[in-house]
């Protein structure tokens, strides 16, 4: 086990990396010489510089791109907080194995290796209106699985989730760590009606009331209100930070999962980019709180790293220009009239 106590985990969260600013400057200088007006590729220019900084390569590469999707089940589904039955988590994991879900198609298109990691699906977390979702040992075990799931020689990591009920966990975590009642953070998830939405808000408010004494600590809040898949995503993000692997966050769940890290030190997410802003209410607010600017806004709200996979296409576009374009000098194109 990498972290045998919450204190050790918190110490790991104080172990900060910053990428290589010199390499980033070299990549940035190249962008200024390519045959286009400076800045005219907008965020495509920024993306390559960010890849360069974290890979430590002025000419970054995207040879090995890994998508990890963690799946977990949630005791709180007993409260009727999802439009789908809890059995769907396992059924979708089988669907991933057959290659028949959205993320299978998107990962293939993005040239990424997809790994799906189910986390004790037959043992849902505790119903956090009644008890903590995970005790410390369960929580650290999920962190550990995430931390050790990041493959070797990985040029880019993208993280996703599957878990019926997990927008409820994510909303509770946001409310606990960023403030505001359930109304600010709870949305329709996979498609709740008005009655279901009201129920879900009550569930989150009840959880906040029950756990109000422990949620001041970000890691304790993650254990009390989160889920195994959120926790594993947090662990993987921490591992990627320590190994300086640029990381793509997916939607509302994927961002809420790493919120505890940001509450410990915002710089722990410097190696992360937000793939998209989800249609799930609360995500925009969450991204703003973390000062993350999403690359895409396509009204997606599927999870399973689907938004992150689409963002990988943009990173490939960014890199293709950086590597393949000629400079003004090479192409004999005149520069600006000054």
CB-CB contact of 74 with 124 (8 Å):
yes
Told to check if 190 binds its own copies by CB under 8 A, we report: yes
Told to check if 73 binds its own copies by CB under 8 A, we report: no
Which of 224, 301, 305, 308: binder of its own copies (CB under 8 A)?
A: 301
Nearer to its own copies by Cβ, of 58 and 223: the residue is 58
Gap between the Cα atoms of 308 and 118, Å rounded: 19
HSE-CB at 330 with a 13 A cutoff on CA atoms is: 9
Which of 8, 11, 29, 108: binder of its own copies (CB under 8 A)?
A: 108
Name the segment binding its own copies (CB under 8 A); options: 6-14, 132-140, 153-161, 321-329: 321-329
* Nearest of 271, 221, 279, 278 to residue 255 by alpha carbon: 278
- Helices (H) then strands (E): counts for the chain: 15, 5
Q: Is the dihedral of CA 178, 209, 119, 116 positive or negative?
A: negative
Told to check if 122 binds its own copies by CB under 8 A, we report: no
- DSSP for 223-256, please give it: HHH--HHHHHHHHHHHHHHHTT--EEE-SHHHHH
Name the segment binding its own copies (CB under 8 A); options: 68-76, 89-97, 168-176, 199-207: 89-97
Told to check if 67 binds its own copies by CB under 8 A, we report: no
Name the segment binding its own copies (CB under 8 A); options: 151-159, 241-249, 252-260, 323-331: 323-331
Residue 169, token pair as written in the block? 């966990």
Name the segment binding its own copies (CB under 8 A); options: 122-130, 134-142, 200-208, 292-300: 292-300
Told to check if 151 binds its own copies by CB under 8 A, we report: no
Gap between the Cα atoms of 251 and 274, Å rounded: 8
Residue ranges in 6-35 that form contacts with its own copies under rule CB under 8 A: 34-35
- DSSP for 62-84, please give it: -SSEEEEEEE--BGGGGG---SS
Structure letter (DSSP) for residue 163: -
Residue 207, token pair as written in the block? 């959880």
Q: In whole angstroms, how close is the CB of 34 to its own copies at the nearest point? A: 8
Told to check if 320 binds its own copies by CB under 8 A, we report: yes
Q: Say whether 338 is catalytic.
A: no
Which of 162, 177, 302, 305: binder of its own copies (CB under 8 A)?
A: 302
Nearer to its own copies by Cβ, of 61 and 212: the residue is 61
* Nearest of 189, 172, 194 to residue 181 by alpha carbon: 172
What are the residues binding its own copies (CB under 8 A)? 34-44, 82-85, 87-88, 91-92, 94-95, 98-102, 104-106, 108-109, 190-191, 279, 295-302, 306, 309-310, 313-314, 316-317, 320-321, 323-326, 330-337
Q: Point out the residues that are catalytic.
A: 304
């Amino acid at each position: 086990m990498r972290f045998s106590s919450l204190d050790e985990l918190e110490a790991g969260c104080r172990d900060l990396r910053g990428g290589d600013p010199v390499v980033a400057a070299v990549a940035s200088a190249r962008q200024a010489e390519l045959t286009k007006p400076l800045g005219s590729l907008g965020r495509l220019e920024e993306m390559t510089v960010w890849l360069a900084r974290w890979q430590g390569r002025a000419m970054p590469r995207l040879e090995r791109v890994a998508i990890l999707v963690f799946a977990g089940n949630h005791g709180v589904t007993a409260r009727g907080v999802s439009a789908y039955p809890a059995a769907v988590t396992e059924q979708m994991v089988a669907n991933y194995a057959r290659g028949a879900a959205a993320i299978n198609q998107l990962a293939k298109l993005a040239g990424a290796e997809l790994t799906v990691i189910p986390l004790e699906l037959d043992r849902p977390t505790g119903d956090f209106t009644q008890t903590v979702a995970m005790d410390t040992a369960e929580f650290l075990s999920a962190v550990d699985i995430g931390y050790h799931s990041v493959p070797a020689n990985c040029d880019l990591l993208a993280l996703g989730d599957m878990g019926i009920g997990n927008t409820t966990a994510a909303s509770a975590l946001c409310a606990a760590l960023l403030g505001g009642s359930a109304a600010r953070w709870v949305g329709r998830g996979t498609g709740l009606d008005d009655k279901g939405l009201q129920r879900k808000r009550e569930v989150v408010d009840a959880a906040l009331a029950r756990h109000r004494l422990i949620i001041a600590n970000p890691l304790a809040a993650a254990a009390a209100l989160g889920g195994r898949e959120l926790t594993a995503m947090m662990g993987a993000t921490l591992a990627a930070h320590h190994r300086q692997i640029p990381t793509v966050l997916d939607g509302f769940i994927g961002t809420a999962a790493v919120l505890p890290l940001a509450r410990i030190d915002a710089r722990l997410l410097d190696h992360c980019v937000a793939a998209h802003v989800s249609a799930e209410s609360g995500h925009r607010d969450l991204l703003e709180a973390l000062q993350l600017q999403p690359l895409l806004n396509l009204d997606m709200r599927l999870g399973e790293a689907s938004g992150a996979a689409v963002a990988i296409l943009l990173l490939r576009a960014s890199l293709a220009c950086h590597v393949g374009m000629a400079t003004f000098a090479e192409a004999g194109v005149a520069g600006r009239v000054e």
